Amino acid sequence: MLAQADAIVRAVKAGTDTALRDLPALRLGFSRLVNSHCSVEIRLVNARAAEMEKDADKTKLLRRFHDELLMWRGDLMDCNASWPQRRVADDRAGFLAAFRGLNDRLKARVRWEEQVFYPAIFATPGKR
């Protein structure tokens, strides 16, 4: 997902006819990748949800996981709706400003999941 988002940024920065012609496929591929990744991720997390309800800290992490994921996905949909191909081609800097914010949040999200969320949620009790 991160590589796909970075490919979108590179294509828009390049701004060539070829890069911009390839951009819709990159953006569609990214959206599909986000949807499939999130579906798998949510299934994995929800399979453990009943166990986590007994732990206040894990419940907070689970709430943050879902709330931030929904917010980010909604912001991606807004970006896609607000920035059709013609507008991106006409205002590459504006699109980059909007999309880089999403990309930065995605990178921060992945770091949080890897460093905080998944270790806390999937840690085996009693093992370190």
Could you tell me if 81 and 98 are in contact, meaning their C-beta atoms sit under 8 angstroms apart?
no
So where are the chain's domains?
A: 2-122
38-88 residue pLDDT tens: 999 999 888 888 888 888 998 999 999 999 999 999 999 999 999 999 999
Evaluate if pTM is beyond 0.85.
yes
Could you tell me if 4 and 33 are in contact, meaning their C-beta atoms sit under 8 angstroms apart?
yes
CA–CA separation, 87 and 108 (whole Å): 27
**If we measure between CA atoms, which residue out of 7, 69, 64 comes closest to residue 35?**
69
74-75-79 Cα angle (round to 5): 120
